[in-house]
Amino acid sequence: MLQWTKYDRATTERDMAIASAAGFNFCRVFLNFHVWEAEQEVFLSKLTHFVATAHAHGVSVMPIPFDLCWFGCRNETVSAKSAGKCWYPSPQFSLADDKSWWSSHGEKYVDALVGALPAGTPGLALWDVVNEPESGGASGLPGEKGTRWLFVQHFVKYFQSKTKSECNVRVPYPAVLTRSVAIESPDYNGRGRGR
């Protein structure tokens, strides 16, 4: 979360130059709903700068909008100001387990992300829609036990609807289906600069 609240353009430009010089051509980056909610346009400006800078250095980006992983503390009052030595979920679990939040807030977040980085954006390789949905403990939704599959299914379908089938759903870890669900950009060729 701090990478977005304390985002620095010069540091990003320096780090991408170092990554490129070291031979890296791919970057997986965690986004954060709570930071977007607090500073929507500023957050999107930071995100588009990150992707454009990565692309300028030959690095393709896989943004991760939702992350249900947590480490260190379980603070259910997550906000852009949360600053503990924790890995905070995005969104906090009570929101991921609230279907009304999905349409009132979650879909607006996805709309903003896809609007800022539509399919074909130079440097956008694919969307990793939900990271580690099994890490947050049991779902709080009625009738769902264990992993938050309803959340995952909803947002994978929503991303697909917003990218108008220009993208393909990929499950990068077929042996462990709960690890990651991603939507690939049609321009990605694995070399960092698109076609």
133-146: b (≥16 Cβ within 10 Å) or e: bbbbeebeeeeeee
158 — pLDDT class (breaks 50, 70, 90): very high
CATH of the domain at 125: 3.20.20.80
The count of structural domains within the chain is: 1
**Containing domain of residue 20, as a range?**
2-184
pLDDT digits (tens, 9 = 90+) for 119-154: 889 999 989 998 887 776 666 666 666 667 888 889
- Lowest mean pLDDT, pick from 58-67, 128-137, 166-175: 166-175
Residue 130 in any domain: the answer is yes
Residue 195 in any domain: the answer is no
pLDDT at 173: 38
Residue 194 in any domain: the answer is no
Residue 193 in any domain: the answer is no
Residue 158 in any domain: the answer is yes
Helix intervals (H) in 22-168: 33-38, 40-56, 93-96, 99-101, 107-116, 149-162
